[in-house]
A and B are shown apart, each in its own frame.
Chain A
């Protein structure tokens, strides 16, 4: 069903910024505020797209290429992840490695662009980002490997519909992936998306110098990343049976994503940001959960 998979991609492109709105609404609810409008992320992106760009004289081509390559990478990732039991348009055997490393490419160019500005703050953020992603990567890859081994498939489009959530290994992987999800998207136990104190931020500090359409690309790219990684978790927790009607399974998967956004909002409202020293420990814990699941699957 190629049309269905194209519709899935369009749904992702349209609905991804809504996840940010849901997270912010949940946080506002917990804080007893009205909060920003649900569609604020769309408005922000449109506003930034209409503005002009300011480039520092010290920056080079890399700084301009960073946001574009970042958005392009996450778009490729969007074409790899299946939604609602429908095979993704770019599905092939071994695409889970491409999926992990295309997101790595996105991060790599964000880091390069941050270093290119020559700002000491952005260099600090880049250093932290690289450290934490190096620790999150094993957790993600080993977790995906455990699921691949469990379902005897090497493509995300075959793995995710085949997995059954009821085995303990899969529960372990899901918890590990949830921790990776929060880390990769710079959400609260790792990074506070609201803070603008340079000393404590990680992701936000790297994009301080981007403006106008470049910044819109970055905002949209991070919303899509939230969507794409969320789809992997939702694919594991709510596996769509291939026999059922496509439309219903897509709706339930998107509902699951919105639910995941609410959970992220609840985590952000009830937890404080971890101290920087603590963050590697949590990521190593996620990695050990993944590895334990992998050993259990190998048995």
Chain B
């Protein structure tokens, strides 16, 4: 079981690196959807000996919302906006991957410092890396859809972090976060539509023009 968790964590980190290095929005959405399903399975694998209805609810919510509903909403956003690629990010793709590697190193260093008990030594570094990746994407990309993806990835990081101490986190808090993200993606979808209609593209940095 421990090695299964380890493989999942490695896949999580690899998908983070892929998200930092790829420019095609559709592929990015598929990877985020894969991350969501992976985390749903992870929640069950972690507590294989003591599966409670609560746990199943959390896992299923993650699996369905992140694996299917978010990709559906985001793909619709792409279709309406007609944007296939991130054209000119603030930070280039190769530099992003190198920054991701630096974040990975920092996460391992930080994970060793934190006084947390985890079933697997990879869990906390992988969670931190995912969190940082999400933040980095929000900062480094101009495209509103990519920033939305960054937001979801950040939530994935928080979720992984939460799984470490799943017994202590109340169900309501976990579901509350998920609901927040859900609403955010929904609102962002509408915002993306309006940005696109107003400016013919999705670059959020142009919103500065609106200032009087």
Contacts and interface: CB of A to CB of B under 8 A. Distances in A.
B104 A284 contact: no
B208 to A, nearest CB: 30
Given A295-B105, A295-B108, A299-B108, A288 B97 contact: yes
Interface in B83-98: 93-94, 97-98
A288 B17 contact: yes
Given A168-B6, A281-B93, A284-B97, A295 B104 contact: yes
Contacts of A298: 108
A280 interface: yes
A97 interface: no
Contacts of A65: none
Interface string B1-15: 000001100100110
Contacts of A289: 14
A291 B101 contact: yes
A280 B17 CA distance: 15
B87 to A, nearest CB: 14
A55 B21 CA distance: 46
A285 B21 contact: yes
Nearest to B105: A295
Contacts of A299: 108, 121-122
A292 B14 contact: yes
Interface residues of A, number: 14
Given A280-B94, A284-B21, A284-B94, A168 B7 contact: yes
B57 to A, nearest CB: 30
B100 interface: yes
A296 interface: yes
Among A172, A280, A289, A296, the most chain B Cβ lie within 10 Å of the Cβ of A296
Contacts of A284: 21, 94, 97-98
B207 to A, nearest CB: 30
Nearest to B100: A288
Contacts of A172: 10
A292 B122 CA distance: 12
B151 to A, nearest CB: 24
Contacts of A280: 94
A195 to B, nearest CB: 26
A284 to B, nearest CB: 5
Contact of B104 (A168, A285, A292): A292
A142 to B, nearest CB: 11
A149 B13 CA distance: 21
B6 A292 contact: no
Interface string A262-286: 0000000000000000001100110
Contacts of A292: 10, 13-14, 17, 101, 104
Contacts of B105: 295
Contacts of A296: 10, 122
Given A168-B7, A288-B17, A299-B121, 13 more contacts: A280-B94, A281-B93, A285-B17, A285-B97, A288-B97, A288-B98, A288-B100, A291-B101, A291-B104, A292-B13, A295-B105, A295-B108, A298-B108
Interface of A: 168, 172, 280-281, 284-285, 288-289, 291-292, 295-296, 298-299
24 contacts: A168-B7, A168-B10, A281-B21, A284-B21, A284-B94, A284-B97, A285-B17, A285-B21, A285-B97, A288-B98, A288-B101, A291-B101, A291-B104, A292-B10, A292-B14, A292-B101, A292-B104, A295-B104, A295-B105, A296-B10, A296-B122, A298-B108, A299-B108, A299-B121
